[in-house]
Amino acid sequence: MRTDNAPRYQPYTLTHWDQIPGLDRLSATRREAMRAVAHVLPFRTSSYVINELIDWDNVPQDPIFQLTFPQPEMLAEEDVAHVVKSLRSGAARREIQALANEIRLGLNPHPAGQIEHNVPKIDGEPLPGLQHTSTLIRCFFSRVVARPVTPTVPIAFAGHSLSACRI
């Protein structure tokens, strides 16, 4: 139950980037690079994280800051530079989104060969769109989402135990 003096939940996304308190402590170059990365990778935080959990006197080394905000090191330097250049030139939103999608497609969501090595089989036939994660768990993937999320409801498929993954 909310009391009158409880802080109001305030989400922050890329749309609110310039309103985030504390970012002004960083150099303009670093903020610009971080914002470029936020166009490629998901970014969302809250006023609680910003006001209560981040030690702004220790930014950018603060671990919560590192976990919460997109860091330039998360992408190749040339990708960050390309997005920064597009943002500076005033490129249209759809052009920046297309560039971000292109960069995302170039990232490797399966660095250990999971796509090739963890595909379950039934009677020797591979089951595309599934990933074998343990003897009892199989994760479903959509063509849009290339990562499993926390397994949810266990289901049975052709006599094998599977767990559906939220996507």
DSSP string, 89-154: TT--HHHHHHHHHHHHHHS-S-TT-HHHHS--EETTEE-TTEEE-SSS-EEE--SS--S---EEEE
The residue with tokens 């030139």 is 89
Q: Map out the domains of the chain as residue ranges.
A: 11-106, 114-165
Q: Band the pLDDT of 51: cuts 50, 70, 90.
A: very high
Q: Under a CB-based contact definition with an 8 Å cutoff, are residues 114 and 131 in contact?
A: yes
**Residue with more model confidence, 20 or 4:** 20
Q: For the segment 124-162, what is each residue's pLDDT rounded down to a tens digit?
A: 888 776 665 555 555 555 554 444 444 433 444 444 444
Q: What is the pTM of this model?
A: 0.66
Q: Band the pLDDT of 53: cuts 50, 70, 90.
A: very high
